[in-house]
A = this chain, B = another copy of it.
Amino acid sequence: MRVLFWRGIRDTIDSRWVESLVARLDVASGSFSASIDLAEEMARAAIAVEQALDVLLPPVEGAEGRLAEAMRYAALGGGKRMRAFLVLESAALFGVNETCAARVAASVEMMHAYSLVHDDLPAMDDDDLRRGKPSTHRAFDEATAILAGDALQCRAFEILGEHDTHSDPMARCELVVALGAAAGARGMAGGQMIDMLAEGQVLDGPAVTRLQALKTGRLIQYSAESGAILGRVASQQRHLLTAYGRDLGAAFQNADDLLDVEGDAAEIGKTAGKDAAAGKATMVSVLGLELARSHADMLARQAAAHLDGFGDRAANLRALAAFVVARRR
């Protein structure tokens, strides 16, 4: 029973959410085993970022209170918080103050939440459900969802500029610039643009790799890199974290595509080809199931290898790389 580790959690955090998160991470772990209990480590990070988000999101008050309500709905109490975990673990490598790291983790989860809110809109992927509950535009309305995404992105950048995020303003500026590059027209937003344009198109391997690198990879990469920025370390160490994040992001996305196919296989007796038939370009449609699986495993090993020089301190980050390709959901 994992009940002891969340003693001292703020009352604002629903303990049922923590229990369900640990249960979900346990299921996801499946037969995955490591020398550390990764599900518990990730739950711990999720709680830290939940507390930070609660403090850093605007309060629900005033005539504009509905906007804060929608921002909180979109950003609180959901997801595995992998990006937050990456920020906290990479920052811990360099002995960064945990409160500072939690602010950056909250900022990146706000960016991630904004992208999900906008991606779910009727004009985009038109999804009614997100993380097991109605998507933001279904729970509120489209206008509120657009504004909530806008305000989440705005707050994510604002947090990075604030003094409490790091005593050195140069570190804060580097975080702003790195997040801007990761999330903008040649990062996450650009990737979503390609994804919208690619519907029904046949993409080759390099095109799929680039789409995924922009759409999901760059923000995951930034999450790992941000710990090195906070740690004010030499560029060589920063490059190692960046390389880890880049390969981890690619492994994560490939594993996601495999889960879609293999989940279907177990459920309805179909194998690869469904995504391809639906016009969705993935590495499975490009490489086939077998090769895509070994490609994902190779990426995960490659990600972990970048961290060899950090020794045991990087055990959690290495375990995460193994986890993203072994997980069951």
Contacts and interface: CB of A to CB of B under 8 A. Distances in A.
A298 interface: no
A176 B158 contact: yes
State the majority secondary structure of interface residues on A: helix
A142 to B, nearest CB: 4
Contacts of A158: 176-177, 179-181, 184
Interface in A138-163: 141-144, 146-147, 149-151, 153-155, 157-163
Given A71-B185, A185-B58, A180 B193 contact: no
Contact of A154 (B147, B168, B183): B183
A178 to B, nearest CB: 9
Contact of A177 (B141, B146, B162): B162
Interface in A187-204: 189-194, 196-198
Contacts of A210: 63
A318 interface: no
A251 interface: no
A142 B154 contact: no
A114 B184 CA distance: 13
A3 interface: no
B194 A63 contact: yes
Contacts of A193: 64, 66-67, 144, 147
A180 B161 contact: yes
Contacts of A185: 58, 64, 67-68, 71, 151, 154-155
A55 interface: no
A170 interface: yes
A273 interface: no
A226 B153 CA distance: 21
Contacts of A211: 63
A9 interface: no
Contacts of A173: 161-163, 169, 172-173, 176
